[in-house]
Amino acid sequence: MSKTVHIAVYDTFADWEPSYVTAGINRPLMQREPGTWQIRTVGATAEPVTSMGGLRVVPDLTLDQLSPADSAMLVLPGADIWEDERLAPFAGAAAEFLSAGVPVAAICGATYGLAKQGLLDARPHTGNAPENLASTGYSGAGHYVDEPAVTDGDLITASGIAPIDFARHIFARLDLFEPAVLDAWYRLYADRDPSAFFALQAGAVEPA
């Protein structure tokens, strides 16, 4: 059965932040269950959006069509417009996912949106900076963790300058790779360890 990870897309979304995630999920080599995972993009409407880097993306489905029951995870990238109310419906969707026990992963400005929604008030989390999240008026400052990425149960948060750590936490939460493969992947991309490339090649599995 196919497992779907939904990635939210909206104007000015930071296209590099989920890039390691999309590549890792859509490229079945080295996965525990090659060929069973897919990415689908979710927009507020069916109209194309333009990323921060100028990429034009047509959403696969709209937010009102999104259901936690049909998803393995909701991924929320950062964007220039998280600090106003335009993306509040996506923070609302995150609340629905967490209530349903379906994981949510938020990076950069999306952590600001979740803080405004009250979703970071009582759980360990990170973001771009404690001062940034404090400006939302949220009450979770005491739970801020100064790490590139943090997993607390079904919620993953990350700094915008940590897309590799963000991906590693997502892959671990989805159980996408064997632990040794995930370790090699991280050593290759985060530590630039050339020996990890050969470890990954040895663990590559073609989809059935």
Q: How far apart are CA 130 and CA 41, in angstroms?
A: 29
CA dist., res. 125 & res. 108, Å (int): 12
Looking at the DSSP assignment, which residues form a beta bridge with residue 49? 57
- Is the pLDDT at 204 greater than 70? The verdict is no
Strands 73-76 and 149-152: unpaired
Percent of the chain with pLDDT over 70: 96
Place of tokens 């985060």: 190
Residue 102 CB coordination number (10 Å): 19
Q: Which residue has the higher pLDDT, 29 or 44?
A: 44
Single out the catalytic residue among 108, 120, 149, 167.
Answer: 108
- Contacting residues for 206 by C-beta, under 8 A, at least 6 apart: 28, 29, 34
Q: pLDDT at position 16, please?
A: 97
Average pLDDT over residues 69-86: 96
CA distance 121 to 94: 14
Spans of all domains in the chain: 3-177, 178-207
Is position 108 annotated as part of the catalytic site? yes
Dmax (CA) for the chain in angstroms is 50
The answer to whether residue 206 scores a pLDDT higher than 50 is no
Based on DSSP, count helices (H) and strands (E) in the chain, helices before strands.
7, 9
Q: Which band of pLDDT confidence, cut at 50, 70 and 90, is reported for residue 201?
A: confident
- Which residues are within 8 A (CB) of 101 and not within 5 positions of it... i.e. 6 or more apart? 68, 154
Helix, strand or coil for residue 89?
A: helix
Q: Which CATH number fits domain 3-177: 3.30.70.270, 1.10.10.10, 2.120.10.10, 3.40.50.880?
A: 3.40.50.880
